[in-house]
Amino acid sequence: MRNRILSGLLAVVVLFGAISCGDDDPVSPLPVPSPELIPQKDDVLNLLRKAYNERNIQQYDRLLDDSLTFFFSPEDVTSGNVPLAKWDRASELLATGHMFDPTFDPAPHTNPDGSITNPGPISRISLTMEYPAGDEAWNPQIDEDVHPGEMWYEKTVNYKLDVTAGDFTFRNAAWLQASFVIRFAEVNGDSMYRLVSWRDDL
């Protein structure tokens, strides 16, 4: 399992430079975090961006709900860029922890074309997130399986991600899209919106 996770981690880093949605529609910036003590839905995305850019795994851990599922894009799965269709919170936290760790050197990865990729440790991450223009609202959803009657919220967001590893910078030239589902939850007295689902590169 460990080798599959590490292989998937490197594949994820590589695919950011290889996949683009070709959609360069105008976008609008995310609102700044609310100064009020009451948590806002937008805060989870602002904190997600901040965790990536600062490579703060503790902050990232705080954002993930216990029932988080990360879904890779179907194209990445069918093309062999990633070894599985989805993974859980523990796997996501482990893989992202390696991405955030400037000393972590992933094992060489064999690409679908047979070439070998091993760029070395990641030295820089830059995540930009925007709402599609005119589409800032979160869509309510009711979960009837894990938390019956509880209101969840979904939002599709445009993003760009630059990842520098060794002499290589992996960059998606056009805006990609990801869908996030959040729920309000308290963990050890820490009340905030947390990520339940993340569908990447729609």
* Neighbour tally for 39: CB within 10 Å: 16
C-alpha distances in angstroms, 97 versus 27, 44, 61, 69, 189? 29, 18, 9, 16, 24
The answer to whether 200 touches 178, Cβ cutoff 8 Å, is yes
Higher pLDDT, 24 or 190: 190
Phi, psi of 44 (to 5 degrees): -65, -35
- Provide, rounded to the nearest whole percent, the portion of the chain with pLDDT above 70: 78
Query: Quick one: average pLDDT of 66-80?
Result: 86
The answer to whether 196 touches 145, Cβ cutoff 8 Å, is no
Checking if the pLDDT of 16 tops 50, the result is no
Checking if the pLDDT of 24 tops 70, the result is no
In this prediction, residue 188 carries a pLDDT of 85
In this prediction, residue 122 carries a pLDDT of 85
| pLDDT tens, residue by residue, 107-151 | 676 777 777 777 778 889 999 999 988 888 999 988 777 777 788
- Work out the mean pLDDT of the chain and round it to a whole number: 79
In this prediction, residue 147 carries a pLDDT of 73
Checking if the pLDDT of 30 tops 90, the result is no
3-state helix, strand, coil in the chain (%, to 5): 30, 40, 35
| pLDDT tens, residue by residue, 86-107 | 999 999 999 899 889 988 887 6
Q: Are strands 190-199 and 64-71 parallel, antiparallel or unpaired?
A: parallel
Q: At a CB cut-off of 8 Å and minimum separation 6, what does 152 contact?
A: 140, 141, 142, 143, 181, 182, 183, 196
In this prediction, residue 36 carries a pLDDT of 58
The answer to whether 143 touches 183, Cβ cutoff 8 Å, is yes
Strand, helix or coil for residue 31: coil
